[in-house]
A and B are shown apart, each in its own frame.
Chain A
Amino acid sequence: MTNPPLDLPAHTGSRTTRVLGAAVLVGVATMILLGFFVAPEDDLMADSVRMIFVHVPSAILTYVAFSVTAVGSVMWLWKRSVWWDIVAHSSAEIGVVFCGLTLVTGSIWGRPTWNTYWEWGDVRLVTTLILFVMMIGYLAVRSMGGDESAVATRAAVVGVIAAINIPIINRSVEWWADRTLHQQSSITDGKLEDWTLFTMFLGIVVWGVFYTWSMTHRFRIAWLERELRDGDLDEAIAARRAEAAASGGAS
């Protein structure tokens, strides 16, 4: 007698992800409202300051995502935990999206503010680009075929090395103050208006919720991919066994 089929959904969503998704939509709508109609223009940057509401949250979530990848990578190397390996991989993919957005929005913001889209002499720009390229490399390593465990180990090493760059990027405007177009920390120097600061923090929270939503879905996707591979493997082994038994019985 077979068990009745479980009433499970054929997707990676759940009640939690739907709540998170709705929160992101409401959050983005609020950000647009506050960012374009409530937060005042800046004395120096005029309206281009409104780019801060998408640029800074993207940069912060880049740090968060790649830090999670580094932690997951260390846990894989230490405990050989598949769960942590999937966390590291999922977070790296989302981090690449955020890092790409940090570079693009920063570049667009740079044109009206610094009169240039890119400056090779700016340490923060270049170190962020290096981080982006390293994490693209991480994903490239992950997409290589071969032994899953070996691929995870190689990727974990890249993930840990790349994370060394995070504090360098963050502190670069202090350490190389004469070699950057970036201003020093805007959050702690009290130069931002209250609504600007509030909207920027709201952006960080909304991007954080989006990251959580994406991580949940991306983790489940990676899990499904693994289950699918294992299922195919089980079937292949069962078929070989049946084949061997049949040929053994025939001889």
Chain B
Amino acid sequence: MTHLGYLLAGWGITLGALGTYAFRLAVRGRSLAARVPVERRRWMTSEDDS
């Protein structure tokens, strides 16, 4: 395959960046949700999360 280095760099950076961003969102969400009282987490329902 030609240009393999460029392809791996382009795909690697893209998937790495999206994965890192997604991971950071999940961690940030957990950290914040733990600090907010349950009655203020309005969108969440036990039915939705079951």
Contacts and interface: CB of A to CB of B under 8 A. Distances in A.
Do A and B share a complex? yes
Interface of A: 5-16, 21, 28, 32, 35-36, 41, 46-48, 50-51, 54-55, 58, 94, 97, 100-101, 104-105, 108-109, 111-112, 210, 213-214, 217-218, 220-221, 223-225, 227-228, 231
B48 A109 contact: no
Query: What DSSP secondary structure best describes chain A's contact surface?
Result: helix
Given A9-B33, A221-B25, A112 B3 contact: yes
B22 A101 contact: no
Contacts of B6: 48, 51, 108-109, 111-112
Contacts of A50: 7
Query: What DSSP secondary structure best describes chain B's contact surface?
Result: helix
Contact of A214 (B4, B21, B34, B42): B21
B3 A55 contact: no
Contacts of A224: 29, 32-33, 35-36, 41
B44 A9 contact: yes
Interface in B1-40: 1-4, 6-7, 9-11, 13-15, 17-18, 21-22, 25-26, 28-30, 32-40
Interface of B: 1-4, 6-7, 9-11, 13-15, 17-18, 21-22, 25-26, 28-30, 32-46, 48-50
B22 A214 contact: yes
Contacts of B11: 32, 35, 51, 54
A8 B41 contact: yes
A227 B36 contact: yes
23 contacts: A6-B38, A9-B33, A11-B30, A12-B25, A12-B30, A13-B26, A36-B1, A46-B2, A46-B3, A47-B2, A47-B3, A48-B2, A48-B6, A50-B7, A54-B10, A104-B10, A105-B14, A109-B10, A217-B25, A220-B29, A224-B32, A224-B33, A224-B35
